[in-house]
Every structure is written in structure tokens, then in C-alpha cells.
Amino acid sequence: MALSFKELLTAVPVVLRGGNVPNIVGEAGIGKSALVAEVARQMGATLFTTVVSLSEKGDLAIPVPPLTSEAYVETEKYGSLADVQYGYTHTLIEIIETAQAHPGRPILWFLDEFNRGSQAVQSELMNLVLQRQINSLVLPEEVKLVIAENPDETMTGFENADYGVIAGDAAIKDRTVRLVMKVDVADWLAWAAEEDAQKQRPHIHDLIQRYLQEDATQLYPAERGDDLNPTPRAWQRVSDNLFELLVLPEETQRALVFDLVAGDLGEVAAQRFVQFMQTNQETLTPMDIFVSQPWGPVVPEKVMQTYQGLPEVQKLALLKSTLVAIDVAQPDNAGRFAQILTATAKDGQYAIVKQLAAGDVLEKLYDADDDSAKALYQLITKVAAYDLSED
């Protein structure tokens, strides 16, 4: 099982309160760092981040050269150490000083890309993670540790992972709580539309929101190339660049937009998105269909007319996006999904039903008491029996 961003916002603090170390495992770019930052914000904690993959053997040794007494930091409870400006030492000084200045206020020390560090670096970190101690220095009670890893092929569910990682020591696996993070499109789109108080604009540009609402599979496509690929983090960079680009003259925008987008998403994904931008397609999104009023299991007439007028290829893309962004097993959603599925060509219906069969939606619909859910289950059963060779 895997947890969404929203679910992890609850799960990570639970693990921390239990006195354990969360180990957040997920693909690159899906928002692990953003998750930890949001957990820290909600906990009112001061966040320190160390990228383990950039660390070298010996960084935790805390060397003490012959310095003057002024170069040492004396603490009331936790001993003394030299203020050496490299490795982990200065981070430790800042952590200790923060703990002393604000007793009781939580501190999160985030060890990112933990299993991309060398075996020697991981070994040096063992006492820190497992014993909360570095040489004679004991971490204050206020400090909570969180680690993050990319998946490796030894992890269940990631047998085909292809990251340049070094599998963690058995002691790390046994003494940390692995929380697998997944990309949840609905969560991400809800966050994308929220106001960024600091920048006074939505987190994600409206053009990107609408593009991904129309085809939610493009947030983190299942089929990925060897070079650049769309990820939630990459889309956020595209959004930040887009806000700046679109205030420039149109001629400059046209000259730069493809390269700027391709630099984050790769050329294939950039071509699709830039084409969308240029045509500024006004089409339907799952939100238009499932959140439009009046409420209930019936698609509003105007929305349904628009859907019926779409080319079949757009209908299929919209249905696939719906399966990613909407829980079609919910009563009202089930009724609306049945309507748009029925208004789709038979081969499109069949393709969607095959995709549905791979998840747990059928089981939810089968166990439901709602009439709309039961009707959708019966429709899916009927579509699954289609003989397309007759058409």
C-alpha cells in the first residue's frame, strides 16, 4: 500500500509522536521534500535539511583542530564542539542553539536522499538515526529525525526500480518506519489551486491546472523515457517559469516557451503542453463534469451536450483522467460516470472498463448499497462482455 501527500501529512506526525523515525520512500520528484516542509509547518517545527547524497565519509567525525576557545560552542546540557564550517558540524551547532533558545519547540532534521549516500556515509549516520548520538554529543529531545529514500529493487512493489541507490543497512530498515508515497492527482490539483500566501498567486498556474485536469495522467505518466519526464516537482518549476514568461512580450514568449518547458518535462511532454497553450483549448475536465451544479447523479444538460460533441479521442482521454482524479465509486459520481461512459463509442467504453478492472473500483461498486453504484457495476459488466469484432 502507498499513501498520498494528504494521508502522509497525518501519518508522519503519528510516527514522530510514537518516538520513531519515518522513512518516506517514493519516486524522484513526487514531493517528499515538500511534504516534510509542510509537516514541519503544521507542527510549528524548525526544519533543517541535509542531503545525504552530497555528504562525504568523515563528515560526522566532527574534527577538532587547535582553535581558540572562542571557536568552541558550549552548551548547557549537551557538551561542547568546535564550530567547523563544513559537513554536519555547523548544522549540529544550529540545531543545538535552536533547541537551547526555544526549549520544547520541535525541530525536524530531514536527511534527504538517504540511500543515495555511499555505504560509508550511511554507516556513519547509523548512530544518529538509531541512537540519536554523534560521538559524545546527544541530540536534544526536541529533535525529530525524518529520512527519505528513492526506491530500490529490494523493496516490495519496486522490483523494477532503476535508481542509482545503495540498499540500506538491515538495521536501518528494522528501526525506521517505511511510508511509501504515491502521486495522488486529486490531492495535487487541490493544492495547486490554493493561494500561495507569500507569492500572492495560486501555487500552480491556471493553464497547467486546466491541462492536468483534462489529462491527469500527465502529472506523472506511467510510461517514462530515459531523459527528462513530467513529475509534480517539474510541473511546479514549469509553473514558476510560466508566471515570469507570460509577462514578457508575445514574441519573446513564443521564442522561449518550448525550450523552457522542455527543460523540465522533456520534449515529448513539452510539445503536448505547448500545443495546448497555443490553441488554449476550451474543453471539459473531470471537475466540470463531477463538481458542476445542480448536485446529484445526473450530469447537467449543458455539460452533457458539450461532452457529446467532443471527438472520441478526447472523450477517452477525459475518461482516463477521471479514473485518476475522481472516485467514481461514490454514489453521485457513479451516476455521472455511467452517463458519460454510455455516451462514448464502444471501443472507448471497452478500453476504460479494462482499466477499471485493474483497480479496486469494481469491488467498491459491488459492495455498495447505492442504486447509482449498482447501475454502474451492471453497465461495466455489460461493457466487459462486448464483442468488438461485430462492429
> What's the DSSP call for residue 137?
E
Q: Strand, helix or coil at 325?
A: helix
Which residue, among 228, 245, 363, 343, has the nearest Cα to 289 in the 3D structure?
343
Question: How many of the other CB atoms lie within 10 Å of CB of 69?
Answer: 7
Q: What is the pLDDT of residues 279-315, one digit of tens each?
A: 765 567 888 899 888 889 999 999 999 898 887 877 8
Mean pLDDT of 170-176: 72
Q: Give me the torsion for CA of 15, 21, 25, 29, rounded to 10°.
A: 90
127 neighbors 21 (Cβ within 8 angstroms): no
Task: Say if residues 362 and 356 touch (Cβ distance below 8 Å).
Answer: yes
Helix (H) or strand (E) holding 24: strand 21-25
Q: Residue 297, preceding bond cis, omega within 30 degrees?
A: no
pLDDT in tens, 175-231: 789 999 988 888 888 888 888 878 888 899 988 998 998 888 899 988 877 788 899
Per the CB < 8 A criterion, the answer to whether 89 and 48 are in contact is no
- Whether the Cβ atoms of residue 205 and residue 239 lie closer than 8 Å to each other: yes
The dihedrals phi and psi of 181, each to the nearest 5 degrees, come to -100, 135
Of the options 3.30.70.1450, 3.40.1650.10, 1.10.357.10, 3.40.50.300, the CATH number for the domain spanning 5-59+91-182: 3.40.50.300
Longest dimension (CA), the chain: 89
Its pTM stands at 0.65
Helix or strand holding residue 335 (H, E)? helix 331-342
> Is the pLDDT assigned to residue 109 strictly greater than 90?
yes
User: Which pLDDT tens digit goes with each residue over 353-380?
Assistant: 888 877 788 888 888 888 998 999 999 9
